[in-house]
Chain A
Amino acid sequence: MISDSNVPQIEFQKVTKSYGPGRLVLQSIDLKILKDEFVSLIGPSGCGKSTLLKLIAGLTQPSVGTIRVDGRMPQNTRKTMSFIFQDATLLPWRTVTQNVGLGLELERVISQRRKERIASLLALVGLGEVADAYPRELSGGMKMRVSIARALATHPRLLLMDEPFAALDEMTRDRLNEELLRLRSEQRWTAVFVTHSVAEAVFLSTRIMVLAPNPGRIYAVLPVALPFPRTAELRECPEFETLVARASHILREALLQ
């Protein structure tokens, strides 16, 4: 029981992914992500970070090697995962409430339980007032909140996020970063987060994996020892800035590889 949190939730062994001959996306990836970690994947475009995330979700299969999530095949552990995409991917014909309830509905959770769960989530992400609005009426930041609420509705133990805030302005992005950490402190999930932003990665993560391109591989792993809870003020701390500078430096090196 004591060692429980040291059992890797995600484990890659010599995973290679190629789309046909000559199109090698990821080469020989070994990685372990432990329970309760927040791992960011960062790297130049074309380094296969989105593919890595899709491999964890079982949305694409490795060409070589094995992937285990909770000791099982990814496709068989989807019930414990949620995926947040770069676009909010809301169904435009559903209201905010109906969108948040989509996962629960697909997993056939009874409607009474669903209603309670949705109401508490909407309150949690601050969307109570727009519960009956359609996605069209929402700003980009609000849509992303709905997307996050939908992902959390099914009680995931693992949250996979593919550049979820890339399309948002910096202020909205910072605020959602802070909220994401607040939600995590209340709900405890493991996170794998793909991003282009070094500052975002440092702010959110317990560990940053820097990927190098051609073919995609893990170039360096940078632990982020900043204490939780992290608030907006953290961004002004010298320790934070030092880490951002270091991560940026490693990222530059990875690009030159």
Chain B
Amino acid sequence: MKRRLVGVANALAVFVAVLVVWQLALWIFHVPRYMLPSPWAVAHAVSARFPSLLTSTAITAEESLGGLMASVIVGVIIALIFAQSRWIRKMLYPYTILLQTVPIVAVAPLILMWVGAGIGAVALIAFIISLAPIIANTTQGLISVDEDLVHLFLMHNASSAQKLFKLRLPHAVPSLFVGIRIASGISVIGAITGELYAGSSQVGVGGLGYSILYASSQLETDYLFALVLAATMLGFSFFFVAMFLEWYFLHNWHESARTPESE
């Protein structure tokens, strides 16, 4: 408990130090406001435009979450197919690597052109970018079951369904959570990237990516900072929720999730 408090205090100290250096830099180098706003200006922008900041964050959160959840469902289904045979994996695995290496920034305009701009298109981009880690990790979990455990199930004449639901799937859950943890952060990045191209049906109101573009075009640098801050917080909270869920479901039995707060 005491060590945790010290940890929190240290993190806070770093935060304060950054603010101080930031403010000092502004005073010493006379940086213009539109280039770099002061911490207070950013704080003011946050409080003054809180409702629209919240709206943007909510839109992006919705898109990211939609994409992430779809990637979990589709990714697990694909992993189940991959787990069926080495042959299928050899045939299809290169394409999941493509999924990971495709520059999402370049593909986003195409997707928007094909499905039409909107929340759906942005969620689709978040989905595409989150899919690969889910597939890769879940497949690994499904196929890395100890041979003796498979023999044990054979000895009791287990059916294929029993082998899947009582052995392979539970065994893959920790790996699935590793995938979700990785995907949670990048799903937000995917959504914001999508929004940079998606535009909005209503001028000035849209997701974080759209609002960032809009604020920069208006030279509202203080609000731009507030938006970047919100985007960072959103990614962080996705990651944190994923970590919590992982701990919640696994802490009883799995080593990796035993003590999330003791690094």
Spell out A's residues near B (CB within 8 Å). Answer: 54, 57, 59, 78-79, 81-83, 85-87, 89, 91-94, 102-103, 105-107, 134-136, 154
Contacts and interface: CB of A to CB of B under 8 A. Distances in A.
B157 A106 contact: yes
A102 B156 contact: yes
B252 A134 contact: yes
Interface of B: 146, 148-149, 151-158, 162, 166-167, 170, 173, 252-255
B54 to A, nearest CB: 39
* List of 4 A-B pairs having minimum Cβ-Cβ separation, nearest first: A106-B156, A85-B148, A134-B253, A92-B253
B153 A106 contact: yes
B148 A89 contact: yes
Contacts of A105: 166
Given A85-B151, A85-B152, A105-B166, 6 more contacts: A59-B151, A78-B157, A83-B151, A89-B148, A91-B149, A107-B157
Contacts of B255: 136
Contact of A57 (B146, B149, B155, B173): B155
A136 B254 CA distance: 8
A78 B149 CA distance: 15
15 contacts: A54-B151, A57-B155, A59-B151, A83-B151, A85-B148, A85-B152, A87-B146, A87-B148, A91-B166, A93-B170, A93-B252, A93-B254, A102-B166, A107-B156, A134-B253
A69 B158 CA distance: 20
A119 to B, nearest CB: 20
Contacts, number: 58
Given A89-B148, A136-B253, A59 B154 contact: yes
B162 A106 contact: yes
Contacts of A154: 156
A83 B253 contact: no
B146 A89 contact: yes
A136 B151 CA distance: 21
Nearest to A79: B157
A68 to B, nearest CB: 18
A31 B155 CA distance: 22
B116 to A, nearest CB: 44
A134 B252 CA distance: 7
Nearest to B162: A106
B155 A82 contact: yes
A83 B146 CA distance: 15
B166 A106 contact: yes
Contact of A81 (B155, B170, B173): B155
Nearest to A85: B148
A81 B162 CA distance: 19
Nearest to B167: A91
**B152, B253, B254, most chain A CB atoms within 10 A:** B152
Contacts of B152: 83, 85, 89, 102
Contact of A89 (B149, B162, B166, B170): B149
Contacts of B153: 106
A94 B152 CA distance: 15
A117 to B, nearest CB: 14
B252 A106 contact: no
A214 to B, nearest CB: 25
Contacts of A136: 253, 255
A134 B158 CA distance: 23
B245 to A, nearest CB: 16
B262 to A, nearest CB: 16
Contacts of B252: 93, 134
Contacts of B156: 78, 102-103, 106-107, 154
A54 B254 CA distance: 30
A91 to B, nearest CB: 7
Contacts of A87: 146, 148
Contacts of A94: 253
A106 B158 contact: yes
